[in-house]
Each structure stands twice: as structure tokens, then as C-alpha cells.
Structure 1
Amino acid sequence: MLTDMTSTQNETSKLSNPRNKKNWVKKSLVGALLLSIAGGGYYFFEQNKAGHEKEEISKNLISVKRGRAKIYVLATGLIKPIQEVKISPKQTGLLKTLLVKQGDRVKEGQLIAVMDDSNLLGDAAAARGAYLAALDNVNKLESGNRPQEVAQARYQELKAKNAARQAKENIQRLEAQVEALTIQLSRNETFAKRQTYLAQEGAVSDQAGIDADTQAEVTKSQLRAAKQEKEQAEAALAQSLAEMNAIAEQHALMRAGYRKEDIEAARHSAMQAKGQLMRVESLINDTRIKAPFAGVITQKYTDAGAIVTPTTSAATTSATSSSIVALAGSLEMVAQVSESNLPKIKLGQPVEITATAYPDKIFRGKVTQIAPAAIVTSNVTTFEVHAEPLDQDSQLLAGMNVSAKFIVGELDDAITVPTVCVISRKGQSGVFMPDAKGEPEFKPVKTGPTTGRDIVITEGLKDGDKIFQGLSREQLAKEGYGGRQQTGQGSGPGASAMRMGGAGRMTRGFGN
């Protein structure tokens, strides 16, 4: 107690000292100043931080606009050739010349390769000689014993046939003339009746009616003459046919120098020799390998000088084969479309194709085939939809992975927003709009179909409204969206995906 009192007295004595009192006041003022500066800095920092956050939030605002919107059905697929074959010779042999390389485009019927045909040339010459000898024998037997008379008879037969042909053509001409005059007579008689009636009514002169009757009579006379000429022509044709048959019989008798059986046997021998020649020529023609359809050479399996054999296996992407080349025809896209979206797909429907290799390029096509049967994989039912690119000379190649947008409709005046702007809260779809203070505020909306990366808003927004896009996790957590979201329309900011057709399910929460 005595010590405390002594200490207090000492402090009092120090403060009573003018010099010590002055130092204490200085220290108090400096401390107060430092405290004021620290407090002001903290206040400025907090204000600046709040302003910066508000500025960052305002950068995420986008304007809602109306416009034309295409309605899509999205799908993934693969580029495949419509036709694909391995080309090989019909017979095993030596490849003499290869005229194409991998990647070449060929036309239907274009020569691709030539096989060695040296072993067939001798057979072809022998077969051709045998055929010509057989023809000479037939001609000898058919000529008979009097070649001059046979030739004259043949000339007369040809002449008679020509006369009969001309007579038939004349009858056809006269039949057409009779038909035309019959029609003309009907018209003239009808016209004459009308003119007579009009003349009686005073609408035309009597002379007009007389002229019409006269013209009808003239036509009738022409028709009678044509019919008579036709009858005469038919009689002339009958006579020509009779003469032709008689001359033909005479010609046949003059050729009867050899027995009919001998001539027939010679003809059969000639036919047999011709068949042998055709077989050898076909084998030679088969050594010239041609493209069965237009397309691209996708694989080259061998080079000139190699022995190649026939193959019946289908074309594959394998780099080895006993064939010569692999040929792929026109390309098509084969996409897997979900069962729920299949009714929206129609033949001839336009489609936009995007390849993984060319993500910024759109290839346009049309639907050419819809599979009649489903494919079930892991309890998921899909249907194959085939679409053919309009430009077959594009950069698309067989085997490429692609994404397809099937254009199933258009909206002329629709409000659309990015699908990432739409979130779900308690089963209600909505977007974030700025409130009076510029802070995000949940606004319920009704959604329609998707249009690629956007979704149609049918109710809840109007042209010119501002909504938030791409809010941070902290901003979303501040609004109460820090956990995993439930099923809703569309995908909110930060969500990973949305099913096509409108409603979707969040696959990743905002707070993850």
C-alpha cells in the first residue's frame, strides 16, 4: 500500500513538472492523429472495395433483345462415306500401273490401275482368228453355187422391203391426214351452224353463213379424197408385201445350194467362236481397274509391281490389305437423335454441321434418311439420322466427329437469352436482374425451346431489360445459391449443361 501511494505521488510529481506535461500532450496528439488516419484509410478501403464490386457486377449486365430465332435440335455424330469399298482385280495378277494416290478424288468409270495382260494377248489373237474363220465358213455356205444370182436376188429382196416400208409410211401419213381433216370438218360444221344461226338473228351477214357452209363442204371433199387415197395406199402395200414375200422365197431357193443343217451347224460354230473371243476380251478388259463410283481414295495398299488378289471384305480404315486401294464415295453425317426429339426431324430438313477439327466453321446439309429402328445403349434410346453435306468438296473427312444443329423451326419475334443466364430456384426458372441499388435480384421467367446457345423466354422479360450473366461464385453465394441446384428450366451461371428442348437438369452446382 505504501508502495502504491509512493508510485502515485511520483506520477503526480512528473505531471506537475511542466516539461513532462508537454511531452505527454504531444504523444497523445500523435496517437490521436495516427488513429484518425487509420480509421479514414479503412473507411476509404471499404468504400472503394464496395464500389469496385458494384463496378464488377455491372460489367456482367447484358440487354435483352427481340429478334428472329432458329429452333434447333442438337445432336452429335460422325462423318461417314455413303459407299465404301476395297478395289481389287477379278483375277490374281501383277499390278502393272497404279494411277492414283491416297487422297485423290476420282470420277465414276475413271481408270485407277492397270494389271499385266501379256498372258492374255496370245489367247485373244487365237480366239479372234477362230471366230473370223467360222464366219468365213458360214458366208461360204450361205453364198450357194451361184453368187451373182444370189446377190441379185438379195438386192431385189432389199428393194421390195424398202418399197413395203415406204408404203407403210405413206399409209401412216394418210391416216394422220384423215384424222386431221375429220377434226377440221367437225370444227367447220360447228362454225357453219353458228354462222347460220347468227345470220338468222341478224348478227352477221348472210354471206358469212354461206362462206362457212362452203368451207365445211370443201373440207368434207378433202376428207373423202384423203380416205380414197388411203384405201389405194393400203392396196399398194398389200401388193408390195406379196412381191416382197415372193422375192424372199426366190432368194431362199437360190441359196439352197447347201443343206440347211450344214448352214445351221456352221452358224453355231461361229457363235461358239464369238463367245470364246468375248470371254478373252472380257478378261483383258478386267485388267483395267476403274472406279465403280465417284469418291476419294482413302487408302493405298500396294504399288506397281506387286501381286494382288481378289478380295470380298468390306472397306475399312486398316492400312493393310491384299487389295489395291480403298474408295469412299459421297460423305454423310450420321447423328444420334434422342427418341423425344425424333418427331421434330423431317426429311429434307436443313442442318448445320460443326466439326471438332473446325469449330468455327459451319457446314450446311439436309436430312436424307431417318432410321426406322432405334439403337438402345445403356438404356438410352436414340435413332440414327443421316444428313448429306451440300458441299461434297468441303473440308469434312470420313471419321470426323461433328455436332449437328437440326433447324426444326423459326420464331420471327422472340426474346432469347443465353442459357447460362437461366437458373432454377425451388422449381421456378428465373434470371438475375439489377434491383434499385444495382444488386442481383431473382426474377421468375417462363422458358421455351432452345436456339443453340440461347433459350427463348416466353414470359417475364421484355425488350430492353437488363439481366446478369456470368456472376462469380461469391456473388451467387451472396444471393443464396451456394449449394447444388435442383431440376429447372435451363442452366444458371456456372452450370455445365442443359438438355435441348427447353427444360434441363443442372449437372454441376454453382458452389462447386
Structure 2
Amino acid sequence: MKKVLKVLLIIIFLAGAGYAAYFFVKSNQKAVIEFETAKAFKATIQNKTVATGKVIPEDEVEIKPNLSGIIEDVLLEEGEEVKTGDLIAKIKVVPNEASLNSAKGRVSNAEIVLKNAELEYNRNKKLYEKGIIADQAFNSAELSYSQAKQELANARNDLQIIKLGTAGGGAANTNIRATVTGTIIDIPVKKGDQVIESNNFNQGTTIAIIADLDKMIFEGKVDEAEVGKLKVGMPLKISLAAIDDHEYDAILRFIAPKGTEENGAVQFEIKADVTLSGDQFVRAGYSANATMVLESRDSVLSIKEEWVQYVPNSDSAFVEVKKGEQEYEKQYLKLGLSDGINTEVISGVSKEDEIKVWNKTEPVKRGDSNG
């Protein structure tokens, strides 16, 4: 009985071992992969770079006041078109106390001088009419009298300017007008704001910014590794984040002679004149990308980058060319320009060669994981 049981256990063990071996072989058995082939083709390959930046007006003019005061009224808004001389805002003058007192004192002094000059003139006039004094003495008194009248007029005008911003002949100082024709792109002040005049020691408060939106430029930056390939006058394509499916032509006009370091990389500023189309309104400050073609090859023999293999620790590149049924042979290449998808083939394969296409995976069959 024990002998029969022992034999039965041996049979069960052998059967289990056989099944395990069969399952292992079956689950690890790989079908032969049949690679597809493709041929080299003619293509135009371009090496491009993209600069990020924005589009801004070529000309922007800041309107500043000629005197200090408080904004009394703002008559226009951003986005409105203006012509030279159009009224933008009004300023209420807040006179400086020291200047005001000095001007008042000058007026009082001029009045005293004029009164004295008038008395002297009247006295000499009577003497002159009687023939008592010479012409020269009378002319001198007359001149002093005229000068005193003019000085009083000047002092009163200065006082009026300090108090009201004008001498009475107009309101040029208190009325802020456009100095150029264009579109108002910014009014950084509002009614009640205090403003400072523009002078030799202070830039003054900006009342409005006017720009010609028909003349836009692209302003961006490129990396130092690519700036050496750029040339003034080369064409660019400008795409705007705010306007889909539309590109604008541009011409590179400026490359900065000095770079600036940003996040560990040296960047160079570039500028390009943008040609606008009449059917799209481009606003100042739109973010933009400028695409520049650094190198180009037209109608050259090319292959897909994904077909190319590289020798480890080497720059040697090769493809596998079909020699028979699922038989391939390495063919070393001399490559040229690449755009990341296609690459130029200078030598190594011909247009008739069938090249192995890599990255093909075998489809998973249902039930394979269960043996």
C-alpha cells in the first residue's frame, strides 16, 4: 500500500513539474517581430528657433504737465483716437505759498516804482514844455516811466500764472493736450490726483500715453547659442497668443550687442518690424513668439529621425537596410541638417534602399497571459 502511494506521489510531482515547465516556456515565448521598411524621400528641412516676447508700438509718447496741480477733469479714455491738439485733461493749479508771496511782493514793489516814475515823468514833461530842460533829460524820464509800467505788467502776469496757471491770454498750461496723433493706450491718473510738472530736475507725472498702433514692433530675447546665426534684415514669422491661426510677417531690425543673464543663461534682446494686416486689430502688449529660420535645405534626400540609431559613446549613426526576407545590414550614415523629425542624408543610403522602421511593438494577443 505504501509502495503504491509513493508511486502515485511521484507521478503527481512529475505531472506538476511538466505543467510548470510548459507554462514557463509558453508564457516567455516571443513571436518573431516582422519589421516594416520605408525609403528615403525628398524634403525641405529647416532649422528654426523661437524667441518669446511681445508686440509693442514703435512710437509711444508720454504727455506730461508744464505745471504742478490737481487733476480737475479727465475728458478722454484709453482706446480713443486723438489728433494733435485734442484736449485730454484739465489741471487745477495749487500755487506754492512761497512763490505766491514772492510774486505779490514783486507786484507791490513794481507799483511803488511806477508811481515814482510817473511823478518824475510828469514833472519833467512840464519843464520840457516850458523849455527849461533838454531833450535828453526828458527822454530819460520818459524811458524810466515806460520801463516801470512794463515791469508792473510783467509782475502781474507772473502772479496770475502762479495763481491760475495762465496770464489770461489762454489756458495752455492748465489744459493738457495731445502732442501727437494716435491712440491713447494708457491714462494712469484720475480726477483728484496730484501731478508734478516736468522740468530739468523731474520727469513729471505722466497724464497719458499716446501710441501709433499702425506701427508695431516685436521685442523679444534669444539665447546666446543662437544669436550668432541671426542677421539684421532676415524674415520672421510672428504668432500672437491672443489671435489664433494667424501669422504676421516681420523683418529683424535690431540685435543687442550686449546680453543679460537670466536664470543662468545669457539672453540677447532683438527687435523686428511687424507688418500688420487690416483685418486684425493688434493691441499693444500682446505676448508673441517669433519664429526664425536659421538654416534651410530645399528638396534634399531625407529620412525620419526615428529610423536612425547611434553607436554608444560615439557620434556614428546608422540605419539597417533590408538585404533579404527579414534580414538587415547596418549602413553607416553621414547626416546633415535636422529639424527634429526629418534629417538630411548626405551619404550612406539611396532613395531605393529599404530601411528598417524601428519602435514597432507586437500586438498583445488575448489569452497569452493565461497560457
TM-score bracket, shorter-length normalisation: 0.5 to 0.7
Q: What's the counterpart of residue 446 of structure 1? A: 334
Please identify the structure whose Cα radius of gyration is greater.
1
Change (3 A) 1:350 1:465: farther
The one-letter code of the counterpart of 1:72 is N
* Deviation, structure 1 residue 41: 0.7
Query: Are 1:398 and 2:273 an aligned pair?
Result: no
The one of 1, 19, 26 equivalent to 1:37 is: 19
| Secondary structure at 2:304 match in 1 | strand
Q: What's the counterpart of residue 248 of structure 2? A: 364
Q: What's the counterpart of residue 188 of structure 2? A: 301
* Deviation, structure 1 residue 404: 3.0
The one of 63, 74, 96 equivalent to 1:87 is: 63
For the Cα contact (< 8 Å) 2:221–2:267, is it kept in 1? Answer: no
Change (3 A) 1:345 1:39: same
* Deviation, structure 1 residue 369: 0.9
* Deviation, structure 1 residue 302: 1.8
* Deviation, structure 1 residue 46: 0.6
For the Cα contact (< 8 Å) 2:67–2:173, is it kept in 1? Answer: no
Aligned partners of 2:340, 2:246: CA distance in 1, in Å? 13
Aligned partners of 2:198, 2:93: CA distance in 1, in Å? 23
Query: Are 1:76 and 2:51 an aligned pair?
Result: yes
Query: Normalized per residue, which structure has more strand?
Result: 2
Aligned partners of 1:383, 1:66: CA distance in 2, in Å? 37
| Secondary structure at 2:66 match in 1 | coil
The one-letter code of the counterpart of 1:302 is V
The one-letter code of the counterpart of 2:66 is K
For the Cα contact (< 8 Å) 2:236–2:290, is it kept in 1? Answer: no
After superposition, residues 113-512 of structure 1 pair within 5 angstroms as 113-115=88-90, 283-284=171-172, 287-290=175-178, 292=180, 294=182, 297=185, 299-311=186-198, 322-327=205-210, 330-336=216-222, 338=224, 342=228, 345-347=231-233, 349-353=234-238, 363-371=247-255, 373-375=257-259, 384-391=269-276, 393=280, 398=285, 400=287, 402=289, 404-406=291-293, 408-418=295-305, 423=310, 425-431=312-318, 433=320, 443-451=331-339, 454-463=342-351, 465-468=355-358
The one-letter code of the counterpart of 1:468 is W
| Secondary structure at 1:445 match in 2 | strand
The one-letter code of the counterpart of 1:71 is Q
- Could you list the runs of 5+ residues in structure 1 that have no partner in the other structure? 1-18, 120-275, 314-320, 472-512
Query: Normalized per residue, which structure has more helix?
Result: 1
* Deviation, structure 1 residue 394: 6.3
Query: How many residues are treated as equivalent by the alignment?
Result: 277
For the Cα contact (< 8 Å) 1:114–1:288, is it kept in 2? Answer: yes
* Deviation, structure 1 residue 455: 3.6
Change (3 A) 1:389 1:467: farther
Aligned partners of 1:75, 1:288: CA distance in 2, in Å? 42
Aligned partners of 1:412, 1:302: CA distance in 2, in Å? 58
Aligned partners of 2:301, 2:80: CA distance in 1, in Å? 45
Aligned partners of 2:299, 2:335: CA distance in 1, in Å? 16
Change (3 A) 1:339 1:31: closer
* Deviation, structure 1 residue 449: 2.5
Structure with greater contact order relative to length (CA < 8 Å, sep ≥ 6): 2
For the Cα contact (< 8 Å) 1:74–1:452, is it kept in 2? Answer: no
The one-letter code of the counterpart of 1:363 is E
Question: 1:270-299: per-residue Cα shift (whole Å, max 9, x none)?
Answer: xxxxxx9xx9777449825337354562x4
The one-letter code of the counterpart of 1:24 is K
| Alignment RMSD (CA, Å) | 5.0
